[in-house]
Amino acid sequence: MTRKRAASHYGLRKFATDRRGVVAMIFALFVVPFMALAGAAVDIGLVLSGHAQLQAAADAAALAAASTVSDADTARTRALTVTELNLPAADHGDVLISADILLGTWDEDAKTFTDGGSSPNAAKVTLYKTSENGNAFDLTFGGIVDFPTIDITADAIAMQSGSSGTACALSLNESDRAGIDVGGTADVTFNDCDVASNSSDDDALEVSNGASLTANCATLVGDTDAESPEFELTCDEADTGASEVADPYDGLPSPTAGTCLDTNYKNTSGTDVLTAGTYCGKFEVTGGTVQLGSGTYIIDAGNFSVSGGATLEEVSGGTGVTIILTDSSGGDSPGKVTINGGAIVTLAAPTSGTYSGVLFFQDKSAVSSTKNKFNGGSTTNFTGALYFPKEEIEFTGGNVSGGSDCTQIIAQKIGFSGNSTLNSSCDSAGTTPITIISTTRLVF
């Protein structure tokens, strides 16, 4: 009996001192909470990722709607299309429906959105992944604690800024100061159209020395110090930091020179009637009157100039003229245009064909810093585009181009130091519009 009691006492002491059992019990007590915490951490990460994806889709949808906010049907269609591309309904359910796309007004000062209105400038969208919507976000571990899904939503508001319209002057230079430069007491008016400069410089457009510029609006990639009263815009202020405005004639083909009809042509007096074709070397009208038959005139490796007192015009009843400056030898310096003080030039571009709407076209091979000058005192009636994509155009004292209903200027840089007026009634002129696209940005 004594041995048995001793054996029993020994067994109890041994169990009490065996730490392996204690560790097992502690592990059993804590493993379930640890697993729950780990699962919760995974689900939180998935929810954050899912919300970020939903928010990105909401942002894209709001921007798409705001880009055409004035057209409600198109705005809603664009928002729905973009959302379907980002979050296909087959995988995510209908996260956005038309009723959740609101078009209204964003008040920049109060930072508030008001639904509706006759002149909306903003779009608000709300995307849903909720139980009520039938597409709640699935959790990976939440089901263990009877919490298999969670509701998430995302809001976004985007507004349209800047003027959506048509420009009649575009500077293509992307970096230099004063892509459009108005100085020397010039009074420049752009009737019912915008001006645009693709320069990213802080002075992408400059008005100085008592000059003035009046236009519907100004679209600038960079910025400007110009302000009222010298810089008068119907839209109140320039749209700065804007996207580049596309060159409407970028796709024009380079010309192919033919057999020379004349070399170093010059008219000094009397009236001369010319036929369209290739003219090699200089083309000068120093006096008298030159009438151009309808068609394309290629000036091959020479300057084009009209002196004071001379007249250049299209023949009566003509169907349009295009004057192209090129260098068929492969050089990079096609000739320049100079219209001197006292010259009278009346020309219109053709309204159809390859060079429809283009009156002057300097080949894109040009890399020189030569300026094409339309000098003071000349009276010009240009209907169509003056297209100098690689060089500068300069208008000096007293140049009047307002006799035409439609004049476009597209050049590397555009300078005015004399009075000029340009009109933009181009519906029947055959030109391609210089289209200003309104920018959109997220505001919420």
pLDDT of the residue at 424: 83
pLDDT of the residue at 142: 67
* β-sheet bridge partners, residue 379: 344, 400
C-alpha closest to that of 264 among 306, 309, 323, 304: 304
CA atoms within 13 A on the CB side of 228: 9
pLDDT of the residue at 3: 42
Q: Is the preceding omega at residue 229 within 30 degrees of 0, hence cis?
A: yes
Q: Lowest mean pLDDT of 19-33, 49-63, 298-312, 339-353, name the range.
A: 19-33
pLDDT of the residue at 411: 96
Residue range 21-47: average pLDDT? 63
Is residue 38 over pLDDT 80?
no
| Residue scoring higher pLDDT (255 or 76) | 76
Is residue 11 over pLDDT 70?
no
- Which of 14-18, 70-74, 331-335, 382-386 is most confident? 382-386
| Residue scoring higher pLDDT (171 or 403) | 171
Residue 332 banded pLDDT, cuts 50, 70, 90: confident
High-pLDDT (> 90) share of the chain, %: 62
pLDDT of the residue at 25: 58
pLDDT of the residue at 5: 45
pLDDT of the residue at 165: 80
Residue 31 banded pLDDT, cuts 50, 70, 90: low
pLDDT of the residue at 419: 84
Is residue 361 over pLDDT 60?
yes
Which residues touch 370 (CB under 8 Å, ≥6 apart)?
Answer: 333, 336, 391, 392
Residue 272 phi, psi (nearest 5) = -125, 130
Residue 170 banded pLDDT, cuts 50, 70, 90: very high
pLDDT of the residue at 316: 95
Chain centroid offset of residue 141 CA: 48
| Residue scoring higher pLDDT (315 or 240) | 315
Is residue 191 over pLDDT 50?
yes
- Torsion, CA 351, CA 352, CA 354, CA 356, rounded to 10: 20
pLDDT of the residue at 379: 73
Provide the sign of the torsion angle of the four alpha carbons 440, 442, 443, 444, taken in this order: positive
pLDDT of the residue at 267: 98
Other beta carbons within 10 angstroms of residue 323's beta carbon come to 24
C-alpha closest to that of 324 among 277, 383, 291: 277
- In degrees, rounded to 5, the angle at the alpha carbon of residue 86 between the alpha carbons of residues 81 and 89 is 75
Residue range 87-98: average pLDDT? 96
Residue range 68-88: average pLDDT? 92
Mean residue pLDDT across the chain: 87
pLDDT of the residue at 237: 84
Contact between residue 177 and residue 205 where contact means Cβ atoms under 8 Å apart: no
Q: Lowest mean pLDDT of 1-5, 28-32, 46-50, name the range.
A: 1-5
What is the amino acid identity at position 401? S
Is residue 351 over pLDDT 80?
yes
Q: What is the pLDDT of residues 270-317, one digit of tens each?
A: 999 999 999 999 999 999 999 999 999 999 999 999 999 999 999 999
Residue 404 banded pLDDT, cuts 50, 70, 90: confident
Residue 15 banded pLDDT, cuts 50, 70, 90: very low
Is residue 171 over pLDDT 50?
yes
Residue 2 banded pLDDT, cuts 50, 70, 90: very low
CA atoms within 13 A on the CB side of 252: 28
Kindly report the pTM of this predicted structure.
0.69
Is residue 193 over pLDDT 70?
yes
Q: Lowest mean pLDDT of 2-16, 188-202, 252-266, name the range.
A: 2-16
